[in-house]
Amino acid sequence: MNMNKDIILTGDRTTGQLHLGHYVGSLRSRVQLQNEYKTYILLADIQALTTHYDQPELIADSVHQVTLDYLAVGIDPNKATLFIQSMIPEIAELTVIFSMFITVNNLRHNPTIKNEARDRGYTDLYYGFLGYPVSQAADIAFCKATLVPAGEDQIPHIETARKLVRRFNELYAPVLPEPRILTGERLGGLDGIGKMSKSMGNAISLNARPDDVHAKLTKAKTDPARIHRSDPGNPNICPVFAYHQLFRNENAEEIHANCSQGTIGCRDCKQLAGNAINELLAPFRARRQDYEQREDEVKEILIEGTRQARKVARETMLEVREAMGIRYFNL
């Protein structure tokens, strides 16, 4: 492994299982990147608290479920370091330091924060929720990550992280690299409204059973103007056609043509999309089942990964303190 190359850090909030949107947005590229780059993957349980602080059991259970999702899609614990955010106190420490160089207004104008606050119906913002991009910057900086594979909604957060490390480096010493984002594809929800998201109830989870996948697609919205089977459809606005493009490229052109000419009905089209998704998910289901039977090993993967991340975090924090002139003594 070439150590001068990028260092990858990415992760997910542990508020439930991951779905196909996570897969095309970021998991798929992580599975590739882990072969070439030092890769850290964090289970963001503290960030999960920002919206689910009243459901700690859900968060802890999701740490386990999301770990299984990662292993199921092909994250290899011998290549990638999987770790739990709350077990790295240095991340919290760096969050406090970074919080000195960013204003409340800057965070308020973050478009992802604004959208989430609107979707959740927040009228006033919790300090931790408003500040989670700062904590995310610390997630990235503690291991000196340079590349963050994540969904496009994370762009403003990575911008904040870049700003914070730049400011740190200017003020004290050039210790922290500026990260870049690598965005994947965006997957629309089954309802044709917005992106696929568990909280919107329009998602297919990665461990959905084959008949669940078909049942969900049966209810999915298609081109609303298409009423009769023989009506020509507009696949370009159909959420189900987007799944054909993403999950079964070879047939997509044919389906596009058939839909446009009204020679394939929505029911058949959905059946084919469901088959394609199930083909993708089949090996994930098998790997998940396999790991489900080896709970101790899964726990060991997290312990080992968290230990490694913690070691790196301690080293970085010594440099951070040194740069700031607050490395008073060793305890």
Q: Which of 50, 136, 207, 278 binds ligand TRP (CB under 6 A)?
A: 136
- Closest residue by Cα to residue 132 from 38, 53, 190: 53
User: Rounded to an integer, what distance in angstroms lies between the CA atom of residue 206 and that of residue 20?
Assistant: 6
Binding mask 31-70 for ligand TRP (x = CB under 6 A): -----------x-x--x-----------------------
Which residue, 274, 214, 273, 223, is CA-closest to 244? 273
Is residue 273 close enough to count as binding ligand TRP by CB under 6 A?
no
Is 148 one of the binding residues for ligand TRP (CB under 6 A)?
yes
Does 305 interact with ligand TRP (rule: CB under 6 A)? no
Name residues contacting ligand TRP, limited to 193-222 (CB under 6 A).
Answer: none
Least Cβ distance, residue 152 to ligand TRP (angstroms): 11
Return the range that interacts with ligand TRP (CB under 6 A); candidates 33-41, 135-143, 205-213, 269-277.
135-143
Beta carbon of residue 10, minimum distance to ligand TRP (angstroms, whole number): 4
Give least dist CB 57 to ligand TRP, A.
20
Out of 66, 73, 117, 140, which residue is the one contacting ligand TRP (CB under 6 A)? 140
- Binding status of residue 113 toward ligand TRP by CB under 6 A: no
Helix (H, G, I), strand (E, B) or coil at 207: coil
Distance CA 109, CA 42 (A): 26
Name which of 199 and 249 has its Cβ closer to ligand TRP.
199
11 binds ligand TRP (CB under 6 A): yes
Which residues, 6 or more positions from 88, have their beta carbon under 8 angstroms from its beta carbon?
A: 142, 306, 309, 310, 313
Q: Which residue has the tokens 């303190």?
A: 321
Segment interacting with ligand TRP (CB under 6 A) among 10-18, 218-226, 296-304, 314-322: 10-18
Q: Are 86 and 13 in contact (CB under 8 A)?
A: no
The CA R_g of the chain, rounded to the nearest whole Å, is: 22
Q: Are 43 and 66 in contact (CB under 8 A)?
A: yes
Selected range binding ligand TRP among 136-144, 204-212, 255-263, 278-286, rule: CB under 6 A: 136-144
Q: For residues 245 and 253, give the distance between their C-alpha atoms in angstroms, rounded to a whole number.
A: 8
What residues contact residue 278 under an 8 Å CB cut-off, 6+ apart?
210, 213, 214
Interface contacts to ligand TRP, rule CB under 6 A: 9-13, 42, 44, 47, 136, 139-140, 148, 150, 154
